[in-house]
Amino acid sequence: MTAGKVKKAVFPVAGLGTRFLPATKAVPKEMMTVVDKPVIQYVVEEAIEAGIEHFVFVTGRNKGVIEDYFDIQYELEATLKARNKKTELNVLSSILPKAGSTSFTRQQEPLGLGHAVWCARDIVGHEPFALLLPDMIMKSEVSCLKGMVDLYEVSGGNVIAVEECAPELAHRYGIVAPGEKIGEGFRITGMVEKPPQGTQPSNFFINGRYILQPEIFEILSTQESGAGNEIQLTDGMLKLLKQQNFTAYHYRGETYDTGAKDGFIMANVAFALDRPDIRGLVEADLKALISALK
Ligand code: G1P
């Protein structure tokens, strides 16, 4: 098992985003905006806060705009400079990753999350890495991944962030079985992807943030499919659990599933209410809208 600092993060961004058609016909779902930033920007910022230095995107066809987003846009910058738009130029420079700190690889076929992660194996190499599912964006004082990195420094091994869900929603997620308590979390003794209603080992669901050891790649290379006939990461992790420790980080902040319509809208509302420049207007409009509801 490899100890040491988690420097690389993997972002699987190959999904088709069918739940957001027609918008996602031409715009990748990760580029949909929450207030004024694309969803992917929130997740990258969370990784930066946790000390991540290299960003690995597992993309697919029609996702080229994600790569463009993390590059310089000369024409736009030249125009902004000519117009002396300093604020806008600062926004652009603040989100530009360091040269050489991003990598892009393609998942050629949508064979599942486990397969998408496996596609990053050569870029990650033999070191622990973070995995962030961009659908889930989070709002908390200490970011979810930062809390996990702090726990990882004590626990080592693999760390998965979990939250509690209503029992009737457990079949939508990966669910873990809890063992002894450790700091802000507990040891994981088992896990299952999308358990049939009523069979879940707990109500702790995997919320889309992971710190994994590179041995997971070897296990995923067997390409066995599980729930939904997809190559499931949870199945791979369950196998790795026989060789290595898995610790759950019990995240207690807010999470928005921007892959679902209600979650996406709530993320927009919540992040807008957090923004001093627009909070007043949004709050007043929301209150009026709600009081007019029949
Ligand atoms: C994936 C994971 C699942 C996790 C979920 C969080 O499922 O396989 O374990 O709970 O993300 O969003 P998906 O949402 O891709 O079906």
pLDDT in tens, 6-30: 999 999 999 988 999 999 999 999 9
Express each pLDDT in 170-219 by its tens digit: 999 999 999 999 887 999 999 999 999 999 999 999 999 999 999 999 99
Please compute the mean of the pLDDT values over residues 245-253 and round it to a whole number.
97
Residue nearest to atom 9 of ligand 1 (CA): 174
The DSSP annotation for 132-145 comes to: E-TTEEEE-SS-HH
Please compute the mean of the pLDDT values over residues 140-163 and round it to a whole number.
96
Among 143, 157, 137, smallest CA distance to 213 is for 157
**173 CB near ligand 1 (under 6 Å):** yes
Can you give the residue ranges of every domain in the chain?
8-169+206-259
Q: What is the mean pLDDT of the chain?
A: 94
Would the pLDDT of 239 be above 60? yes
Kindly state the percentage of the chain with pLDDT values over 70: 99
Q: Give the distance (Å) from ligand 1 centre to CA of residue 50.
A: 22
What does pTM read for this prediction?
0.95
Among 187, 170, 178, 188, smallest CA distance to 227 is for 170
Would the pLDDT of 124 be above 60? yes
- Residue 47 class from Cβ within 10 Å (0-12 exposed, 13-18 middle, 19+ buried)? buried
Would the pLDDT of 1 be above 70? no
In this prediction, residue 223 carries a pLDDT of: 80
In this prediction, residue 53 has a pLDDT band, given cuts at 50, 70 and 90, of very high
**208 CB near ligand 1 (under 6 Å):** yes
Express each pLDDT in 59-99 by its tens digit: 999 899 999 999 999 999 999 999 999 999 999 999 999 99
Q: Give the distance (Å) from ligand 1 centre to CA of residue 4.
A: 27
Q: Which CATH superfamily is domain 8-169+206-259 in?
A: Spore Coat Polysaccharide Biosynthesis Protein SpsA; Chain A (3.90.550.10)
Residue nearest to atom 2 of ligand 1 (CA): 174
Q: Give the distance (Å) from ligand 1 centre to CA of residue 172.
A: 8
**47 CB near ligand 1 (under 6 Å):** no
In this prediction, residue 222 carries a pLDDT of: 87
Would the pLDDT of 2 be above 60? no
Omega of the bond leading into 134 within 30 degrees of 0 (cis) = no
In this prediction, residue 227 has a pLDDT band, given cuts at 50, 70 and 90, of confident
**17 CB near ligand 1 (under 6 Å):** no
Tell me which of 16, 117, 133 to substitute to probe ligand 1's pocket, judged by most ligand atoms within 8 Å of the beta carbon.
133
**205 CB near ligand 1 (under 6 Å):** yes
In this prediction, residue 11 carries a pLDDT of: 98
Among 177, 126, 187, 132, smallest CA distance to 154 is for 187
In this prediction, residue 233 carries a pLDDT of: 96
Q: How far apart are CA 225 and CA 146, in angstroms?
A: 31
In this prediction, residue 229 carries a pLDDT of: 86
Q: What type of residue is 58?
A: V
Q: Which two tokens stand for residue 19?
A: 């739940």
For the chain, give the longest Cα–Cα distance.
Answer: 62
Residue nearest to atom 11 of ligand 1 (CA): 208
The DSSP annotation for 251-294 comes to: --SEEEETTSHHHHHHHHHHHHHT-TTTHHHHHHHHHHHHHT--
Would the pLDDT of 257 be above 60? yes
Question: How many other CB atoms sit within 10 Å of the CB of residue 66?
Answer: 21
Please tell me what DSSP assigns to residue 240. H
In this prediction, residue 290 carries a pLDDT of: 93
- Residue 106 forms beta bridges with which residues? 59
Q: Which two tokens stand for residue 85?
A: 């738009």
Characterize the bridge pairing of strands 8-12 and 54-59: parallel
Name 194's Cβ contacts closer than 8 Å, sequence gap at least 6: 171, 172, 173, 174, 227, 228
In this prediction, residue 63 carries a pLDDT of: 93
